[in-house]
């Protein structure tokens, strides 16, 4: 490996590292909440597989709390697009609407888990995936 190649590689790594260090693009806690939601969802899925619906329901309750916090934050995309005034308010309302729909799905999932209604649990997990797609395609940017 040439010295020049090595130095270039290190420079690239240093640059990548510093951009990654800007947690949440602008310091918003939203990406943290989202990563936490992802981890909790994994735990819920493994609890369901091992038949512990009570533990899964507790995990879902934590996810609901995280979405309630996420609802109070502004997606970075809106800042990137420099939205302001009525336009910003409209988009924030749309974002909060999708978060509310998602919370509704998780509330139903919690009920289904407590009732051991596995057919409904399966349907609702599918709906969670759909909400994620809707939320990310409309409001998530990579930064
Ligand atoms: C339901 C399951 C969901 C999971 C597991 C999930 C997970 C994640 C993860 C892991 C990230 C970080 C990705 C990255 O680092 O690039 C992220 C980002 C994001 N998610 Fe979600 N998400 C979910 C649902 C939603 C919903 C419903 C919305 C909107 C209504 C949403 C809005 C966002 C936004 C806006 C970001 C970018 C963060 C920012 O703008 O600061 N997510 N999500």
> Which tens digit of pLDDT belongs to each residue from 15-36?
333 334 345 678 899 999 999 9
Mean of the per-residue pLDDT values for the chain? 88
Look at residue 15 and tell me if it is in a domain: no
Rounded-to-integer distance, Cα 109 and Cα 113, Å: 6
DSSP code at position 29? S
Look at residue 90 and tell me if it is in a domain: yes
Look at residue 20 and tell me if it is in a domain: no
Rounded-to-integer distance, Cα 23 and Cα 41, Å: 22
Look at residue 77 and tell me if it is in a domain: yes
Q: In this predicted model, what pLDDT tens digit does every residue of 46-55 receive, in sequence order?
A: 999 999 999 9
Look at residue 6 and tell me if it is in a domain: no
Q: In this predicted model, what pLDDT tens digit does every residue of 59-112 receive, in sequence order?
A: 999 999 999 999 999 999 999 999 999 999 999 999 999 999 999 999 999 999
Look at residue 11 and tell me if it is in a domain: no
Check pLDDT > 90 for residue 142.
no
Q: In this predicted model, what pLDDT tens digit does every residue of 104-123 receive, in sequence order?
A: 999 999 999 999 999 999 99
Q: Is the CB of 98 under 6 A from ligand 1?
A: yes
Per the structure, the complete domain to which residue 51 belongs is given by 28-139
Q: Is the CB of 75 under 6 A from ligand 1?
A: yes
> 37 near 103, Cβ under 8 Å?
no
Q: Is the CB of 95 under 6 A from ligand 1?
A: yes
Look at residue 7 and tell me if it is in a domain: no
Look at residue 78 and tell me if it is in a domain: yes
pLDDT at 7: 40
pLDDT at 23: 52
Q: Is the CB of 64 under 6 A from ligand 1?
A: no
114: domain CATH number is: 1.20.120
**How many structural domains comprise the chain?**
1
Of 118, 120, 106, whose CA–CA distance to 48 is shortest?
A: 118
Q: What is the mean pLDDT of residues 119-137?
A: 98
> 69 near 61, Cβ under 8 Å?
no
Task: From the CA of 76, give the closest atom in ligand 1.
Answer: 40
* CB neighbour list of residue 62: distance below 8 Å, 6 or more residues apart: 40
Of 140, 142, 21, whose CA–CA distance to 78 is shortest?
A: 140
Q: Is the CB of 99 under 6 A from ligand 1?
A: yes
* CB neighbour list of residue 124: distance below 8 Å, 6 or more residues apart: 105, 108, 109, 112
DSSP string of 45-65, one letter each residue: HHHHHTT-HHHHHHHHHHHHH
């Amino acid at each position: 490996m040439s010295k020049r190649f090595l130095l270039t590689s290190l420079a690239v790594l240093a640059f990548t590292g510093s951009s990654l260090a800007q947690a949440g693009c602008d310091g918003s806690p939203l990406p943290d909440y989202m990563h936490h939601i992802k981890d909790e969802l994994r735990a819920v899925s493994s609890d369901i597989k091992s038949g512990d619906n009570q533990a899964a329901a507790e995990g879902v309750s934590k996810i609901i709390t995280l979405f309630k916090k996420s609802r109070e934050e502004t997606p970075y995309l809106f800042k990137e697009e420099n939205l302001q005034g009525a336009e910003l308010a409209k988009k924030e309302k749309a974002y909060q609407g999708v978060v509310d729909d998602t919370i509704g799905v998780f509330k139903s999932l919690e009920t289904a888990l407590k009732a051991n209604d596995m057919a409904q649990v399966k349907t609702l997990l599918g709906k969670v995936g759909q909400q994620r797609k809707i939320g990310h395609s409309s409001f998530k940017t990579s930064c």
